[in-house]
Structure 1
Amino acid sequence: MRRYLFPVILGVSGVVVLMSLGFWQLDRAEEKRVYLDEIEIRIANAPIPLPAVPEEGPHKFQAVTVEGQFTGEYLEVLAGQKGASPGVMVIEAFALPDGRRIMVQRGFVEEEARRVPRPPHEAKVEGNLHWPDDSSSSTPPPDQKTGLWFARDVPAMAARLGTESTLIVASAPTGDGIAPMPVDTSGIPDNHWGYAIQWFLLAATWAGMTLFLLWRIRTRKV
């Protein structure tokens, strides 16, 4: 029996650990579902006035409305849309009547329309507060010649435009032929079910290998 002791302990321990990781992923999947439901509710809520001090925790994806003026100062981020030619995402400075300056992600413009003038104009904007950070260690810095950005970085863009680190993603057209790119939950990873299945399959494989090892030990003994 001592021959079987170590393989059994190793096999049972491995299965327990792998199954625990699978159930942990199921718990995470439920937490992510609740989180995504909360986001959907915030996105769909009736818009509120812009908070005096927007904070990512309580206000991310909150629907808001503001009135003021697009200043004509904008940044372009490399982007693409299904069914459209390559283009850019336009993020423009927006001046509020009380003197605050924020940023508005107005939406997508195809490459051919990038040079169309976008003069300052008054507007009412409805959208959602967002704090995206698409950049990574491999993201190149903005192109010095063209001014094109390759990812959204709210603090860096705010510093460039001289605004608060507050970004509203417009949910409706803001003029100048710019197509809005409203926020949604499709870009938020939700892979926990897949990870859970992987852990359970590994547990089953580990159990199978343990049984095979025990069989080999038995046949050698015989």
Structure 2
Amino acid sequence: MNRTKLLIGGIITAGAVAVMIGLGFWQLDRLEEKEALIARYEAAADQPPIAYPLMPGEDLPLYRKSALTCLEVTGWRHQAGANRDGRSGYVHVADCRLGAEGPGAAVETGWSQEPTAGTDWQGGQVEGVIGPDEKYRYRLVSDTGLGGLAASAPPSLDAIRNNHLAYAIQWFAFAAIATTIFLLATRKKKKQDAGK
């Protein structure tokens, strides 16, 4: 009976350790992918401007210079953000209509210390840098403040989390801990059985 329990415990532990090690190697693969993505984004700042993409694809065009024409502002979003000097406040994002049909776009019009400032901007030509956006996946961050706003801080690579190495180490540590606990429990059980 004791040997059966030990065998079952060993099988369960081995399975769990194998999964944890697999997750650790998966995180290392993700680390390589993320580092390649960050390198591509770093290179994007030095590339020539692109036409503003209307349909999001697999590869987001983040950190590229671009321009668009906002025909009409259809809504506003106000979020915590910073200006070009790093001062905290609010960034103001206009949801724009670009044409008669199709998806719209988001334009970060600028920064202020007021939570709902700058909403008198009615649209127009905007030049800037493409950054991430929750609603459209990416937005155009204006190079200059629009509608009386100050310029926002440009999109930063610091916003991209790259903690896959820490996760890999964590999974490998969990595997080592599980193995150690099983071996200590097995040793203790053998000593108890020997003492009977």
- Normalised by the length of structure 2, the TM-score is 0.70
C-alpha spacing 1:203/1:112, structure 2 compared with 1 (3 Å) = closer
The alpha-carbon deviation at position 63 of structure 1 amounts to: 2.1
Structure 2 CA distance, aligned partners of 1:125 and 1:13? Answer: 54
Aligned residue in 1 for 2:58: 57
Q: Is the Cα–Cα contact under 8 Å of residues 94 and 104 in structure 1 kept in the other structure? A: no
How much has 1:205 moved relative to structure 2? 0.9
| CA distance in 2 between partners of 1:119 and 1:107 (Å) | 11
Find the aligned partners of 2:14 and 2:122 in 1 and give their Cα distance. Answer: 69
1:87 and 2:101 equivalent?
Answer: no
2:133 aligns with 132
Counterpart of 2:78 in structure 1: which amino acid? V
- How many positions carry a matched residue from both structures? 184
The residue identity in structure 2 corresponding to 1:91 is: A
8 Å Cα contact 2:28-2:164 kept in structure 1: yes
Give the gaps of 5 or more residues in structure 1: 134-152, 156-165
SS at match of 2:37: helix
Moved more, 79-88 or 37-46: 79-88
How far apart are 1:71 and its partner, in Å? 6.5
Secondary structure at the aligned position of 1:40 is classed as helix
Q: Compared with structure 1, are the counterparts of its residues 40 and 26 closer, same or farther at alpha carbon in structure 2 (3 Å cutoff)?
A: same
| 1:19–1:203 CA contact under 8 A, matched in 2 | yes
1:13-24 matched pairs, under 5 angstroms: 13-24=15-26
Match of 1:114 among 113, 117, 125: 117
How many percent identity over aligned positions? 24
Q: Is the 8 A contact 2:109 2:141 kept in 1?
A: yes
Deviations 1:98-146 (A, max 9, x none): xxx854212211118926x856686551322x5621xxxxxxxxxxxxx
TM-score, normalised relative to structure 1: 0.63
Q: Distance in 2 between matches of 1:69 and 1:216?
A: 72
1:14-38 CA distance string (max 9 Å, x none)? 3222222211111111112112222
Of structures 1 and 2, the one with the larger relative CO (CA 8 A, separation 6+) is: 1
Q: Which runs of 5+ in 2 are unaligned?
A: none
Q: CA deviation at 1:44?
A: 3.7
SS at match of 2:82: coil
Q: CA deviation at 1:5?
A: 4.0
1:40 matched residue in structure 2:
42
For the pair 1:66 / 2:67, whether they are aligned, the reply is yes
Pairwise CA RMSD: 3.7
